[in-house]
Amino acid sequence: MKKFINKIDNILIESLSGFATAHSDLVSLHLDPNFLTRKNKAQNKVAVISGGGSGHEPLHAGYIGYGMLDAACPGHVFTSPTPDQMLMAAEAVHADKGILFIVKNYAGDVMNFEMAAEMLPFESATVLTSDDCAVINSTYTTGRRGVAGTVIVEKCVGSLAETGADLQTCKALGDKVNNRIASIGIALTSCTVPAAGRPTFDIGDTELEMGVGIHGEPGRRRENMREADELIRDCINAILADFKARDLDPANNSEALLLINGFGATPLMELYLIYNTAAKLFSQHGIQISRSLVGNYTTALDMAGASVTLCLLDNEIKRHWDSPVHTAALRRDR
């Protein structure tokens, strides 16, 4: 294993410290327990908090700022943050209108956020993201996994919270957005957790994992490499089948957002090639791609691979996706 590391036990604190220093205009780092907040606390709004294991950067700390998160709780690499992190973060950013947790559907995350919510001295609600259509149940989850679509949920809910909307209204939008998203990922290599010092799984030079999770957990099946167009066609077919199973017809929807997300070690050249193919294939099914996002937004350390995410837009979702945002990893002005 060759990585830029001093001591493995210190990698998270050193990385968080570097992030907070690089973006000192946007975030503040709090230690023992570890969490990050907006540099300038927002007032009189629902406070939106997310978190999860580290290794998925820029998720979640990269989305702290105006129009998205008020705080993020980073666990150790691929490990859920603890309830005390969530409690301290909530107390730091509570702005008199309640706390909304956005939680990816992994057993540890769900359990710890639930524990924190029960101990909070003020009102809270939770949006559980579950956009991965590759695997319904796994060792890590009961139900669908939360993956790259979480970024879209955080953006839309964060936008609504900035308007002063109440807690239940923000939760309702988060649930609606989540229910209109489907994602699937492909891994060409495994990832290496620093503490383990070796790849999470073995995969041959001519193989890929279809439907891989963002922690290196297995997907639908192991396959041989093929041309990109064939691989992405399988992804699109899986997404369309998933929407059909939920009685949603993307072709009857006026517009959609297409997110091509890199897992950390895939060049942008390849990600844009994937976007080109996916957009063409979706258009052949009568789906109008009117919004797009391409890049590393929900990674898996050093994994080579990518995921395809489709979000069905309506006027409300589109308005909040298009609204201004100012974070380290996502910025948009009017």
Catalytic residue among 56, 60, 94, 320: 56
- Cα 240 to chain center, whole Å? 21
**In 105-225, which ranges are E strands?**
124-129, 181-187, 207-210, 221-224
- The DSSP H or E segment spanning 15 is helix 11-22
Query: Does 23 qualify as catalytic in the annotation?
Result: no
Sheet architecture: strand order including 71-77: 27-30, 35-38, 71-77, 45-54, 96-104, 124-129
Catalytic residue among 60, 76, 94, 215: 215
Q: Cα separation of 37 and 139, whole Å?
A: 32
Q: Are strands 325-327 and 65-66 parallel, antiparallel or unpaired?
A: antiparallel
Query: Does 56 qualify as catalytic in the annotation?
Result: yes
- Cα 28 to chain center, whole Å? 21
Q: At what angle do helices 315-322 and 149-162 cross, to 10 degrees?
A: 80
- What residues are labeled active site? 56, 215
